[in-house]
């Protein structure tokens, strides 16, 4: 019996060893293969544009602090806003910042409804500054996204929502925030879902290849969704239960065999 048990354990270990990472599977896990062969030419990092539904934090400064206060009155939620809370046209500024409405506008005190959609943060800052010269001396404007958030799902260690501290983030940065891919995450087919002009667009990235730098989806935008697909090698729930039961049975069989061997000696 002891001999047959050894044969069984040997066959089991041989089967498990066949599941270990082969050279081909190992290479499939490496990011940015061949990146050293790419010339180090400069490239322009695109700046995200403002979309309908975005929430903006806008801070306005000038040489006259008293005159500037009216533009930075606290709203419900404690953030900067525009005119008085009772003004119905100012509902776009209520809450945590300036909400870009369905027409792509925000409401700015003295300026009224102001077009924001399609502009970058720096462009909106400059146009607001130019418009406020009439009302303020040496105005200065800071615009930030208040809802700069990503959703990362699938085969990553920490899936979920992520508030982004920076205005520019790449797919590699995002995966780092999520704790990187699990061993069962596909590196060659990462899905990025994005809304552009009210339409949902999708792009797929192979992070094993350095040409992802040229993809419009390499740098993520606010409210993007990233999904990492599992590989076929990932065991299903039933397979995991089966593997666990086999491991338990093997351990019990080894203990029983050892006891029988000790008793029959």
Is residue 82 a contact partner of residue 73, using CB atoms and an 8 Å limit?
A: yes
**Does 153 have pLDDT greater than 60?**
yes
Indicate the average pLDDT of the chain. 76
**Domain co-membership, 169 together with 42:** yes
CA–CA gap between residue 265 and residue 262 (Å, rounded): 6
Q: How many domains does the structure of the chain reveal?
A: 3
> Residue 159 sits in a domain of what CATH number?
3.10.560.10
CA-CA-CA-CA dihedral for 242, 245, 247, 249, to nearest 10: -130
Supply the pTM of this predicted model.
0.62
In terms of domains, do 128 and 104 share one? Answer: yes
Model confidence at 159: pLDDT above 90: yes
Query: Which of 119, 145, 171 is the endpoint of a domain?
Result: 145
Q: Does residue 250 register a pLDDT over 60?
A: yes
Q: Does one domain contain both 174 and 133?
A: no
User: Which among 115, 145, 175 is the end of a domain?
Assistant: 145
Q: Which domain holds residue 183?
A: 31-47+148-228
CATH number for the domain harbouring residue 105 = 3.30.1950.10
134 and 59 in a common domain: yes
Residues 84 and 198 grouped into a single domain: no
Which of 145, 166, 182 is the C-terminal boundary of a domain?
A: 145
Task: Please state which of the ranges 27-36, 73-82, 114-123 shows the lowest mean pLDDT.
Answer: 73-82
Complete DSSP assignment for 189-245? -EEEEEEETTEEEEEEE-TTSGGGGGSTTSEE-TT-EEEEPBPTTS--HHHHHHHHH
pLDDT of 13 above 80? no
Query: Do 245 and 257 share a domain, yes or no?
Result: yes
Which residue has better confidence, 72 or 227?
227
Residue 194, pLDDT above cutoff 50: yes
Q: Are both 8 and 67 inside the same structural domain? A: no
- Tokens linked to 22: 């082969």
């Amino acid at each position: 019996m002891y001999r047959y048990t050894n044969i069984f354990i040997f066959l089991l270990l041989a089967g498990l060893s066949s599941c270990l990472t082969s050279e081909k599977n190992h290479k499939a896990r490496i990011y940015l293969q061949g990146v050293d062969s790419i010339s180090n030419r400069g490239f322009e990092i695109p700046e995200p544009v403002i979309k309908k539904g975005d929430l903006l934090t806008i801070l306005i400064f000038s040489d006259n602090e008293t005159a500037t206060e009216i533009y930075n009155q606290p709203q419900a939620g404690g953030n900067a806003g525009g005119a008085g809370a009772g003004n119905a046209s100012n509902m776009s500024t209520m809450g945590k910042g300036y909400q870009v409405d369905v027409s792509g506008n925000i409401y700015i005190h003295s300026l009224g409804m102001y077009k924001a959609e399609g502009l970058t943060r720096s462009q909106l800052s400059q146009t607001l500054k130019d418009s406020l010269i009439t009302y303020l001396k040496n105005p200065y404007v800071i615009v930030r996204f208040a809802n700069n958030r990503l959703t990362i799902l699938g085969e990553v260690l920490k899936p979920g929502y992520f508030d982004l501290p920076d205005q520019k983030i790449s797919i590699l940065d995002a995966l780092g925030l999520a704790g990187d891919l699990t061993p069962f995450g596909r590196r060659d087919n990462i899905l990025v879902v994005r809304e552009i002009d009210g339409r949902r667009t999708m792009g797929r990235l192979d992070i094993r290849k350095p040409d992802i730098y040229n993809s419009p989806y390499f740098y993520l935008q606010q409210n993007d969704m990233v999904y990492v697909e599992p590989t076929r090698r990932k065991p299903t729930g039933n397979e995991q239960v089966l593997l666990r039961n086999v491991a338990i049975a093997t351990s019990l069989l080894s203990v029983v065999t050892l006891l029988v061997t000790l008793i029959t000696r």
